[in-house]
Amino acid sequence: MIRLWVTFLLAGGAPATTVQLRRYYVGRLSDAHPDLLAVTVDDLAAWLGSQTWAPNTMKSARSALRSFYGWARATGRREDSPAELLPPVRVPRARPRPTPEVAYRSALAIADEREQLALMLGAQCGLRRGEIARVRGRDLEPDLSGWSLRVVGKGGHVRLVPVTADVAARIRRRGEDWTFPTPRGGHLTPHHLAKLVSALLPDGVTTHSLRHRCATTAYAATRDLRAVQDLLGHSKPETTAGYVLTPQGAVRAAVEAAAA
């Protein structure tokens, strides 16, 4: 049943990473309830409620259940979708967590050339770990000011990310194919690439925090949230705002202005 649903998602062009994550959650449900088509909304609520996941994880699991049971209803396997009645998961607004500048510079200093490029693509260009892993030399394009990198993001959305001359040169030196290849062909998995990068950073500082560093420094320099949104490939400015740590000086200036 799960395999048929996964095939359906892939036929609709769903990103492989999204499909893999959704399959994981429904697979976890099937461990507790082998007969997936007999599950009730009470079963789903009890199963979700028994987990100790963070709100973001709970939200992803709920989305997976809604997708699976929506498919089951649409294809005539069930008359209803019990997941439709699950309450929305409220996710508290997270504070941006940019990589500290000293940690980023220290990582660059000890990294080899390949690792340096991965760090720069995250911290300077705002790429996700999966986007970094899939960079290819042929995706570099000349523009009016230098070079841009063609990036395929979440949902298959394509954006052009401007890169510095240094980053462009580093990518070009690694050839036209995968910039981060494996010995067996293909590119590094996002998970493996993240392990390489995280090993260079202090405990608790992740590859994704490099993306927060990019957003924070870009906004501090431009004060243009819309430009930062385009750079990161977000569909909503509210998402981008969650990546930007407002400079402390700006907050203090706001307080001084209010007190004047």
Query: What tens digit of pLDDT does each residue of 97-113 get?
Result: 999 999 999 999 999 99
Please enumerate in sequence order all residues whose Cβ is within 8 A of that of 74, keeping only pairs 6 or more positions apart, or say none. Answer: none
CA distance 255 to 260: 9
3-state class (DSSP) for residue 161: strand
**Structure confidence by residue, pLDDT tens digits, 209-227:** 999 999 999 999 999 999 9
3-state class (DSSP) for residue 246: coil
- State the CB neighbour count (10 A cutoff) for residue 188: 21
pLDDT band for 256, please (50, 70, 90 cuts). Answer: confident
pLDDT band for 91, please (50, 70, 90 cuts). Answer: confident
Apex 202 CA angle, 198 and 205, nearest 5? 60
CA distance 247 to 98: 12
| Average pLDDT, rounded, for the chain | 93
What's the topology of domain 2-85?
DNA polymerase; domain 1 (1.10.150)
Q: Quick one: DSSP state of residue 90? A: P
On the question of pLDDT at 232 being above 90, the answer is: yes
Question: Would you list the domain boundaries of the chain?
Answer: 2-85, 101-253
Measured CA distances, 133 to 48, 78, 93, 184, 209 (Å):
32, 39, 28, 15, 16
**Structure confidence by residue, pLDDT tens digits, 153-205:** 887 889 999 999 999 999 999 999 999 999 988 999 999 999 999 999 999 89
3-state class (DSSP) for residue 162: strand
Confidence at residue 59, expressed as pLDDT on a 0 to 100 scale = 95
* pLDDT-above-70 percentage for the chain: 100
- Quote the CATH superfamily of domain 101-253: Intergrase catalytic core (1.10.443.10)
Confidence at residue 18, expressed as pLDDT on a 0 to 100 scale = 87
Nearest to 242 by CA among 135, 91, 27: 91
In total, the chain counts a number of residues equal to 260
For the residues 226-249, what does the mean pLDDT come to? 89
pTM of this structure? 0.77
How far from the centroid of its chain's Cα atoms is residue 122's Cα?
11
